[in-house]
C-alpha cells in the first residue's frame, strides 16, 4: 500500500511517447520465481524492450532478445538455459514500424544480464550504464553475453549525482524535465537501476528491472526463493529495501517488472504510423525543459484499476507448493 501521496513534478514534452517491443519469452516454474509459487505452474518470463521517444533523444530501456539470441543462450551455464520462444528482435520491430534505429540516442539497460542486452548487438547506439554495472559485468563469473557484445559498443557511463527521488537516495534526471529519472537499485546486480518515466498524459511508470520477477513480489512483498536469491542477487538486503521503496509508491505509478508480461499490457506496441518524425538527435544527456500538454487517453491504469487487478491476479499460492 502506498505511503506517499504525491509524485515529484515532471514536465514531459507533448510529443513524448512509449511503446513496447516484446522480443520473446522463456519458461520458468512459479516455484523458482516467488516464494510460495506452485511447482506445477509454468510462467512465461518476458524479454521486452521499451522505446521512449523524446525530442531530446530517443532511448530503449533494455533491449530484449536479439538476432543472435540462440547463440547468446549457449554462452550461459546449462542450468540457466530453459525452454524459450524467440520473437522479432527490437531492431526488426523498429524497422518494420518505419523507425530508423540510427535515431536512438542510447540503450539504457536496467542491468547487464543476457536477457536484457542480447538485442544490443543489433544496434549501433551507445549503451548507457553505470560504472558499477560495468565493473559487475566484467568480473569473473559474470554473464558472458554482455562481455561478448560490449567491445563493439560505446559504453557511456553516467553517475547518479542528483538528489533523492521517491525514497531512493540519489538519482539522475536524464533530460532535466522529470520525464526520465534513473535511481540506483544495486541489489540484483551491483549496478542495477530503476527507470521512472512520466508521460505528458499524466501516466507514470517504474521500470524496475529484476528487482522482482513478478508483480506479486510488489503486491504481496514476496522474496524470490532462497536458492534463487543466492544464485541471482548480489545483495539480498538491498533488494528487499528497494522493493519496499517501490511498494511505498505502488499506488501512484504503474510498476513494470522486466519479466512480467502483465506489466507491459497497457503499453502500446510499436506499429506503423506510431513513431515520431520530428527529430534525429543523439544527445543522451540534456538540460532543457518542456511544457506539459493536456492529458489524453493512453490506456493508463490508475490506482483504482490496479487495486482491482491486484485482487484477481495473484498466480502464487503459499499453500500450494
pLDDT of 140 reads: 63
Distance separating the N- and C-terminal Cα atoms of the chain: 26
Q: Strand 17-29 relative to strand 104-108: parallel, antiparallel, unpaired?
A: unpaired
Alpha-carbon gap, residue 300 to 303, rounded angstroms: 10
Quick one: which of 47, 63, 152, 46 has its CA closest to 107?
A: 63
Within 110-158, where are the H helices? Answer: 114-117, 131-138, 144-149
SS3 229: helix
Confidence at 304, pLDDT banded by 50, 70, 90:
very low
Give this prediction's pTM: 0.84
What range defines the domain where residue 176 resides?
17-267
Q: How many structural domains comprise the chain?
A: 1
**Taking 90 as the threshold, does the pLDDT of residue 258 lie above it?**
yes
Considering the domain boundaries, does residue 290 fall inside one? no
Per-residue pLDDT of 204-236, as tens digits, reads 999 999 999 899 999 999 888 787 777 777 789
Q: DSSP letter at 175?
A: S
Considering the domain boundaries, does residue 230 fall inside one? yes
Considering the domain boundaries, does residue 36 fall inside one? yes
Alpha-carbon gap, residue 16 to 13, rounded angstroms: 6
User: What's the CATH code of the domain at 136?
Assistant: 3.60.15.10
Considering the domain boundaries, does residue 245 fall inside one? yes
296 versus 186: the higher-pLDDT residue is 186
Considering the domain boundaries, does residue 186 fall inside one? yes
286: left (phi over 0), alpha (psi -120 to 50) or beta: beta
Q: Backbone phi, then psi, for 237, in 5-degree steps?
A: -65, -40
Confidence at 96, pLDDT banded by 50, 70, 90:
very high
Alpha-carbon gap, residue 4 to 256, rounded angstroms: 19
Cα 219 from chain centre: 18
Considering the domain boundaries, does residue 283 fall inside one? no
**Taking 80 as the threshold, does the pLDDT of residue 315 lie above it?**
no
Considering the domain boundaries, does residue 318 fall inside one? no
Confidence at 141, pLDDT banded by 50, 70, 90:
low
Considering the domain boundaries, does residue 174 fall inside one? yes
213 grid coordinates: 520477477
For residues 17-21, give the mean pLDDT.
97
What contacts 264, CB < 8 A, 6 or more positions away?
20, 22, 46, 48, 50, 256
Alpha-carbon gap, residue 79 to 85, rounded angstroms: 17
pLDDT of 271 reads: 64
Amino acid at each position: 500500500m502506498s505511503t506517499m501521496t504525491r509524485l515529484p513534478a515532471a514536465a514531459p514534452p507533448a510529443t513524448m511517447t512509449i511503446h513496447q517491443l516484446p522480443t520473446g519469452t522463456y519458461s520458468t516454474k512459479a516455484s523458482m520465481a516467488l516464494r510460495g509459487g506452485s511447482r506445477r505452474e509454468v510462467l512465461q518470463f518476458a524479454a521486452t524492450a521499451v522505446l521512449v521517444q523524446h525530442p531530446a533523444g530517443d532511448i530503449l530501456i533494455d533491449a530484449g532478445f536479439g538476432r543472435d539470441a540462440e547463440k547468446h543462450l549457449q554462452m550461459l551455464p546449462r542450468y540457466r538455459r530453459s525452454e524459450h520462444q524467440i520473437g522479432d528482435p527490437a531492431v526488426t520491430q523498429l524497422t518494420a514500424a518505419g523507425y530508423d534505429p540510427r535515431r536512438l540516442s542510447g540503450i539504457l539497460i536496467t542491468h547487464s544480464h543476457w536477457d536484457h542486452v542480447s538485442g544490443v548487438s543489433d544496434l549501433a547506439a551507445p549503451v548507457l550504464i553505470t560504472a558499477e554495472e560495468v565493473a559487475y559485468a566484467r568480473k569473473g563469473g559474470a554473464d558472458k553475453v554482455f562481455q561478448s557484445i560490449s567491445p563493439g559498443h560505446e559504453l557511456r557511463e553516467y553517475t547518479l549525482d542528483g538528489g533523492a527521488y521517491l525514497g531512493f537516495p540519489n538519482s539522475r534526471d536524464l533530460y532535466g524535465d522529470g520525464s526520465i529519472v534513473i535511481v540506483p537499485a544495486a541489489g540484483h546486480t551491483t549496478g542495477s537501476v530503476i527507470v521512472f518515466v512520466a508521460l505528458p498524459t499524466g501516466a507514470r511508470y517504474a521500470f524496475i528491472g529484476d528487482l522482482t520477477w513478478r508483480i506479486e513480489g510488489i503486491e504481496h512483498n514476496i522474496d524470490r526463493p532462497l536458492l534463487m536469491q543466492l544464485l541471482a542477487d548480489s545483495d539480498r538486503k538491498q533488494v528487499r529495501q528497494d522493493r519496499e521503496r517501490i511498494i511505498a509508491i505502488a499506488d501512484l505509478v504503474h510498476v513494470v517488472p522486466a519479466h512480467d508480461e502483465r506489466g507491459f499490457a497497457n503499453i502500446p506496441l510499436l506499429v506503423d504510423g506510431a513513431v515520431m518524425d520530428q527529430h534525429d538527435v543523439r544527445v543522451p544527456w540534456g538540460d532543457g525543459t518542456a511544457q506539459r500538454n493536456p492529458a489524453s487517453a493512453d490506456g493508463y491504469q490508475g490506482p483504482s484499476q490496479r487495486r482491482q487487478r491486484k485482487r484477481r491476479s495473484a498466480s502464487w499460492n503459499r499453500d500450494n507448493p
